[in-house]
Amino acid sequence: MYWTEFFIPTNKEIPADAKIPSHQLMIRSGMIKQESSGIYSWLPLGFKVLKKIEKIVREEQEKAGAIEMLMPTLQAVELWKESGRYDGYGKEMLKIIDRHNRFLIYGPTNEEQVTEIFRAFVKSYKNLPLNLFHIQWKFRDEIRPRFGVMRGREFLMKDAYSFDLNEEESKKSYYKMFISYIKIFKRLKINTIPVVADSGEIGGSLSHEFSIITNTGEGQVYCDKRLFDLELDNDDLNNLSDLERAVGNYTQFYSATEDKHNEKIFKEKVPEEFRLKGKAIEVGHIFSFGEKYSSPMKAYITNKEGKNVSVYMGSYGIGVSRLVAAIIEYSHDKKGIIWPNSVTPFHVGIINVQADNKECLKVIQEIKSEFEENNLEVLVDDRDESVGKKYADMDLIGLPYILTIGPRDIKEKKVDVKFRHTDTKENLSIEGAINRITSLAKEKTRS
RNA sequence: CGGAGCGUAGCGCAGCCCGGUAGCGCACCGGUCUGGGGGACCGGGGGUCGUGGGUUCAAAUCCCGCCGCUCCGACCA
């Protein structure tokens, strides 16, 4: 992709309304544009990242046995009255009246909807377990939206819903999702902390939040750093005891939110060098809530004995749009964003020092196609701008590998390579640079 | 929802207190020179001052209503 043929409206000025780094950087790098309080357009660069995160989430959820579908954004309020949540959720629900004077809501979540689908089609224990997920826009009419897409009113969320015959089976589904979440966050290169959580409005007994620690989150979290070094074996875990062991590996370490934190236990359990406390951004939340919805909504299944019983459910959310901001909070410097390879909008940025130098353009085109043959995405800054501006913009939008092509170096078939992650530069041969970056990018994109 | 503040060119702001027909930086357009970290010079374009009303000979400026946005607090992926 050439910069002049794409659309990246960058801005040098820090927008007055944006207070936290991710919000400022997303606006300055032309990823998003605010349309209303808590409502944003996703411009091409932001959209690319959003889609990449979405893809990773989808792949991992499917590996864990969840099946993708799509439910509508608008829901009839009747379902919410049936579950008893209509009053509980209250003003956060955006209500819409259609021309027939029917009340609809822009869904803040989909437990009711999916339960309705389930009860319409599934009648037998033989069809269980089942886990359905979708990635859909939600709307919660927050009292005070803030921090850009971190706490918007409209947001993209992956929500999965599990259906099981009984509590034990349901636990299995829950643990599978727990492990799947660990894998997702690993691929996104963010350290998340699973914290035992209140289940809030969703309700239920077993619940974990997955948070990342940054300077600008909301609410304190305390944890044991050793959590971050844990490795998952890649085997598919299918029986409860294996799953329990894998999850237990994580939950054995101390982690607590402010309200549940116990300084004494913290100090007993966690050696000083592993103690970590900071502000948390919640990026995922999983719940097991049994019959909370299936019972009032009569989502019954027939068990082996021929009896009708309420299905056991759980729900599992990931804030996809929030993750874009969360990753930036986690990975940026004064100059701009630093994307992990797995979600970067382009892997390689190429700066053309002299916009009208034909020889440079030719070399760039060759380098570009070679990267593209290796499935790396390339953005060539071919604008007729000063070099300084091009560097500043490249750093701002956060591409991991930045090549400088200029008349000085191409005579010797060399190129300057900047590694954004380490903020280091090397002068390499063109072939060497291509090989090096290709292997680095692939290695880091996988894992 | 309680408290505070803001709305003037695409962005960041000054002007408002003390009323007299709107300004700065960046961005943008044309040109010349440049080009290895936001380059220089010359020449240009662009604003119903959020909106409705009131006071006044005269309102960006004073008064009232409305709308929008932001910040601090209580709530949420």
Of A residues 425-444, those with CB within 7 angstroms of nucleic strand B are: 425
Q: What is the DSSP string of A178-191?
A: HHHHHHHHHHTT--
At what angle are helices A44-63 and A167-187 packed, to 10 degrees?
Answer: 140
Please indicate, yes or no, if residue A99 is contained in any of the structural domains.
yes
Q: Is residue A397 part of a domain?
A: yes
pTM for the whole structure: 0.96
Q: Among A297, A263, A298, A291, which Cα is nearest to A277's?
A: A263
Residues A260 and A388 in one domain: no
Which residues in chain A, range 196-225, keep a C-beta under 7 Å from any nucleic strand B atom?
Answer: 198, 200-202, 209, 218-219
Q: What is the mean pLDDT of residues A151-165?
A: 96
Pairing of β A206-214 and β A275-290:
antiparallel
Nucleotide nearest to A23 (CA to C1'): B70
Range of the domain at A110: 11-337
Considering the domain architecture, whether residues A299 and A374 belong to the same structural domain is answered as no
Nearest nt to the A395 alpha carbon by C1': B37
Residue A1 domain flag: no
Give A410's contacts (C-beta < 8 A, 6+ positions apart): A359, A360, A363, A430
Shared domain for A246 and A220, answered yes or no, is yes
**Distance, Å, A384 CA → B41 C1':** 18
Report whether pLDDT(A127) > 50: yes
Which nucleotides of strand B are protein-proximal, with an atom < 7 A from a CB?
1-2, 10-13, 25-27, 34-39, 68-77
Q: What's the pLDDT score for residue A311?
A: 97
Mean predicted confidence (pLDDT) in A251-259 = 88
| One domain for residues A261 and A310 | yes
Establish whether the CB of A420 is closer than 7 Å to any nucleic acid atom in strand B.
no
How confident is the model at residue A279, as a pLDDT?
A: 87
pLDDT tens per residue, range A281-292: 899 999 999 999
Of A289, A310, A337, the one marking the end of a domain is A337
- Closest residue to B1 (CA to C1') is A143
Interatomic separation, CA of residue A10 and C1' of nucleotide B26, rounded (Å): 13
Give residue numbers, 63 to 122 of A, with CB < 7 Å from strand B.
Answer: none
Residue A196: what pLDDT? 87
pLDDT at position A66 is: 98
For residues A119 and A231, the model is more confident at A119
Predicted local confidence at residue A202, as pLDDT? 57
- Domains identified in chain A, total number: 2
Find, among A128, A155, A122, A135, the residue nearest to A71 by Cα: A135
Is A147 near strand B, with its CB below 7 A from some atom of it? Answer: yes
Tell whether A366 is covered by a domain: yes
Regarding whether A373 and A323 lie in a shared domain, the answer is no
Tell if A385 CB is < 7 Å from nucleic strand B.
yes
- pLDDT, one tens digit per residue, over A318-359 is 999 999 999 999 999 999 999 999 999 999 999 999 999 999
Based on the fold, state whether residues A292 and A375 are members of the same structural domain.
no
Regarding whether A149 and A81 lie in a shared domain, the answer is yes
Per-residue confidence (pLDDT) for residue A391, from 0 to 100: 97
Domain presence at residue A5: no
CA–C1' span, A87 to B72, in Å? Answer: 29
Q: Quick check: A267 pLDDT over 70?
A: yes
Residues A279 and A391 in one domain: no
Predicted pLDDT at A447: 44
**pLDDT score at A401:** 98
